[in-house]
Amino acid sequence: MILDAFRLDGHSALVTGASRGLGAAMADALEQAGANVFRASSSIADLSDRTSVASLLDRAGDADILVNNAGIIRRADLVDYSDEDFDDVIEVNLRSVFALSRDFARRLVEEKRSGKIINIASMLSFQGGIRVVAYTAAKSAILGLTRALANELAPHGINVNAIAPGYMATDNTQALRDDPVRSRDILARIPAGRWGTPADLMGAVVFLASPASSYMHGSVIAVDGGWLAR
């Protein structure tokens, strides 16, 4: 039965940034599909600390699914954007994704196990955005990283793909939703006519984590209410 291809019984997943929002919903979805999920949050692992990143996989056990969801955002006009803010965003949103993916893949290759890496991209992987130069740089790089990793890891039975959420009602977009002009302009461009919710990502993450997506490598699924189609 085709629905069996979406089951994750016997699999284990590590989801970063899983304490709330998109990460919590994706972790819930993987659990509902049968996976054992290790939920990493900032209280468990500080992804701006390279030592903490290196030890996270040990704490997650024998995971064969990695969801690189954790991220931060800093908003400021370009002329006021500090080096510190830029470096902090790149460290968490890009470098930790690289490091976790590399170490995760190394274990699977050494143990001759297949697996899944799911990166979380953004609408700003495709567009420039406003007042979020570091976030845009990191999320644009996530697309390139996803494709580069897919090229190297596909021969080892490791699928690397990404989800690009649209404008979601989360903490990261609170400032936009509180701004009546920006919120109005954003909603006017979304064909679905609403902000997305964390639950909107549940189907996509289960699909990419499951055997149903076994022939997908280096793909990006936009879950955006039609934003990119407008």
Count the neighbouring beta carbons within 10 Å of the beta carbon of residue 125.
Answer: 21
Q: Which element (helix H / strand E) includes 185?
A: helix 180-189
Closest Cα partner for 16 from 97, 95, 94, 87?
97
Q: Cα–Cα distance between 98 and 92 in angstroms, integer?
A: 10
3-class SS at 61? Answer: coil
Q: Which tokens sit at 91?
A: 């460290």
d(CA 130, CA 145): 23
Burial of 116 (0-12, 13-18, 19+ CB in 10 A): buried
The span from the CA of 68 to the CA of 94, in Å, is 10
| Alpha carbons 41 and 14: distance in angstroms, whole number | 11
Active-site amino acid positions: 135
Q: Which two tokens stand for residue 228?
A: 């990119």
CA distance 28 to 117: 17
